[in-house]
Structure 1
Amino acid sequence: MNKPAAVSMQVRDIHKGFAAFRALDGVSLRVEAGELVCLLGPSGCGKTTLLRCIAGLERQERGSILIGSRDVSALPPQARDYGILFQSYALFPNLTVAQNIAYGLAGSDRESQHRRVAEMLELVGLLGSEQKYPGQLSGGQQQRVALARALAPAPSLLLLDEPMSALDARVREHLCGELRQLQRRLGITTLMVTHNQDEAMLMADRIAVMNQGRVEQYGTPQQIYGQPATPFVAEFVGQGNWLPFERGRDGGARVGALNLRVEGAQGLERGRLFCRPETIVVNPPQPGDNLFRARMREITYLGNRCRMSFELAELPGHGLLAELAPEAMPRLASPEIWVALPPQSLQVFA
Structure 2
Amino acid sequence: MGFRDRVSTVLPTLIASGMGGAVRRLVPLKRRPRVTVVIPCYNYGRYLGPCVASALDGQDGVDVDVIIIDDKSTDDSLATAREIADERNNVRVYAHPYNLGGIATYNDGLTLADGDYVVLLSADDLLTPGSLSRAAMVMEMAPNVGLVYGTSRVFHDQLPLSRPGHGHWIHWPGRDWLRIRCQSGYNVVASPEVMMRTKLLRKIGLYRADLPHAGDFEMWLRAATVTDVGFLIGADQAFYRQHDTNMHKTTFQGGTHQGVLVDLKQRWLAFEAALGTGEHASVLHSQLLTTARATIARHAIQYSSYAYARGSLDFPFPAYEELALRARPDIGKTYGGRGLAWRKRLGMARGLPLHPLWAPSALALRITEVLRRVRRFGAGV
Q: Same fold (TM over 0.5)?
A: no
Name whichever structure is richer in helix by fraction: 2
In which range does the TM-score fall when normalised by the shorter chain?
A: under 0.3
TM superposition score normalised by structure 1: 0.27
Larger Rg: 1
Name whichever structure is richer in strand by fraction: 1
